[in-house]
């Protein structure tokens, strides 16, 4: 995608980072289709051009760019590492934070801490458009509070973010900036958003294999399925986690034997990867990665 004219606010933000902020955490905020991801991409690439190491954290679970949907992804980009550095994932459980608010917040903070431990100069955080309504507002309030950004970039059409922004307008450590929305933003329909998610899942599971997996003795967490109902397990999206609960790979449960505590699972997990716990999500997918709507 090319941006015809880079808005002066964007250029000024990069200049401020260059001149005044050896360390920075940029939080982008806005409803759907406000240009958040495009801005994040621009910031990551421009700040990287300044010679800085930047962690790009993508916490949009539905229209995710880094990693498959239902995960928070993180990549460290620098002049030497480029954009092909390792991708870190944290499975959240679904393509929306609703029903997974805690997992989403913990995933974002864990990724930030990992980036900080890897001595990045700064973080650029992309977020989802879930920002209004009673739950959306409180979720975003808690997320901003937890992330404690140095820069909060509000992309709003009217004044829809003001009620949230008021909470942070007196925070001395934070620079609050309101950016206009570009007329070039192309809104996506609900169907386009759904298709995008399916395509991202399809690509992720494209080279996956069916493996048999015994889960006796392993940690189990997330939305634990009903141990009396095989149907509840079949097609369930899960995360295979390491000892720090970072996600090694996602999987789609195929067949399950609840007595023997075994299942077969479609997954790109590599045999050498050591699974320490299994995180259960709340989505069901068919073996091509399409979301299934289950009858209750």
Ligand X SMILES: Nc1ncnc2c1ncn2[C@@H]1O[C@H](COP(=O)(O)OP(=O)(O)OP(=O)(O)O)[C@@H](O)[C@H]1O
Q: Is 96 in the site for Mg ion (CB under 5 A)?
A: no
Minimum CB distance to Mg ion smaller for 60 or for 121: 60
Q: Measured between alpha carbons, how far is 122 from 221 in angstroms, rounded to an integer? A: 31
> Minimum distance from CB of 242 to ligand X (Å)?
29
Q: Is 268 in the site for ligand X (CB under 6 A)?
A: no
Q: Is 100 in the site for ligand X (CB under 6 A)?
A: no
Q: Is 222 in the site for ligand X (CB under 6 A)?
A: no
Q: Could you please report the per-residue DSSP string of the chain? A: ---SS--HHHHHHHHHHHHH-SSEEEEEEESTTSSHHHHHHHHHHHHHHTT--EEEEE--SSS-SSSSTTEEEEEEEBTTTBT-SPEEEEE-SSSSSTT-HHHHHHHHHHHHHHHHHTT-SEEEEE--S--SHHHHHHHHHHHHHHH--SEEEEE-SSSTTHHHHGGGTT-TT-EEEEEPPPTT-----HHHHHHHHHHHHHHHHTT-EEEEEE-TTSEEEESPPPTT-HHHHTTEEEEEE-TT--EEEEEEEEEEETTTTEEEEEE---TTS---EEEEEEEEE-TTS-EE----
The contact pattern for Mg ion, residues 47-76, with x = CB under 5 A and - = no contact, is -------------x--x-------------
Q: Is 234 in the site for Mg ion (CB under 5 A)?
A: no
The entry of ligand X, Mg ion, none near residue 282 (CB within 5 to 8 angstroms by kind) is none
Closest by CA position to 54, among listed 85, 29, 97: 85
Part in contact with ligand X (CB under 6 A); list of ranges 25-33, 145-153, 211-219, 230-238: 25-33
Per CB under 5 A, contacts with Mg ion among 235-294 are: none
Pick from 13, 24, 25, 30: which binds ligand X (CB under 6 A)? 30
Per CB under 6 A, contacts with ligand X among 141-200 are: 182, 184-186, 188
Minimum CB distance to ligand X smaller for 36 or for 284: 36
Give the interface size with ligand X as a residue count (CB under 6 A). 18
The entry of ligand X, Mg ion, none near residue 267 (CB within 5 to 8 angstroms by kind) is none
Q: Is 37 in the site for Mg ion (CB under 5 A)?
A: yes
Q: Is 60 in the site for ligand X (CB under 6 A)?
A: yes
Q: Is 58 in the site for ligand X (CB under 6 A)?
A: no
> What would the two tokens of residue 164 be?
């949230």
Q: Is 67 in the site for ligand X (CB under 6 A)?
A: no
Residues in contact with ligand X by CB under 6 A are: 1, 3, 30, 32-38, 60, 63, 129, 182, 184-186, 188
């Amino acid at each position: 995608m090319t941006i015809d004219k880079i808005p002066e606010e964007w250029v000024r933000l990069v200049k401020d980072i260059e001149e005044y902020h050896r360390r920075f955490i940029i939080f982008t905020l806005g409803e759907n289709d406000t240009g958040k991801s495009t801005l994040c991409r621009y910031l990551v690439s421009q700040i990287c051009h300044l010679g800085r190491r930047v962690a790009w954290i993508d916490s949009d679970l539905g229209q995710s760019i880094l990693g498959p949907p239902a995960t928070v992804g993180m990549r460290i980009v620098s002049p030497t590492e480029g954009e092909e550095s390792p991708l870190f994932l944290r499975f959240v459980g679904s393509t929306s934070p609703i029903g997974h608010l805690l997992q989403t917040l913990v995933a974002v903070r864990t990724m930030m801490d990992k980036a900080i431990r890897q001595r990045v100069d700064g973080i650029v955080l992309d977020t989802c458009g879930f920002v209004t309504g009673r739950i959306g507002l409180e979720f975003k309030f808690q997320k901003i509070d937890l992330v404690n950004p140095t820069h909060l970039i509000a992309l709003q059409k009217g004044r829809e973010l003001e009620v949230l922004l008021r909470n942070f307008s007196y925070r001395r450590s934070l620079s609050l900036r309101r950016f206009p929305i570009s007329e070039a933003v192309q809104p996506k329909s609900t169907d386009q958003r759904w298709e995008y998610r399916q395509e991202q899942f399809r690509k992720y599971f494209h080279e996956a294999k069916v493996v048999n997996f015994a889960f006796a003795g392993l940690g189990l967490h997330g939305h634990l399925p009903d141990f009396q109902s095989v149907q509840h397990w079949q097609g369930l999206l899960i995360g295979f986690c390491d000892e720090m609960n970072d996600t090694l790979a996602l999987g789609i449960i195929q067949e399950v034997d609840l007595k023997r505590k075994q299942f077969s699972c479609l997954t790109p997990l590599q045999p050498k990867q050591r699974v320490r716990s299994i995180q259960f999500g709340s989505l069901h997918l068919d073996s091509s990665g399409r979301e299934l709507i289950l009858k209750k």
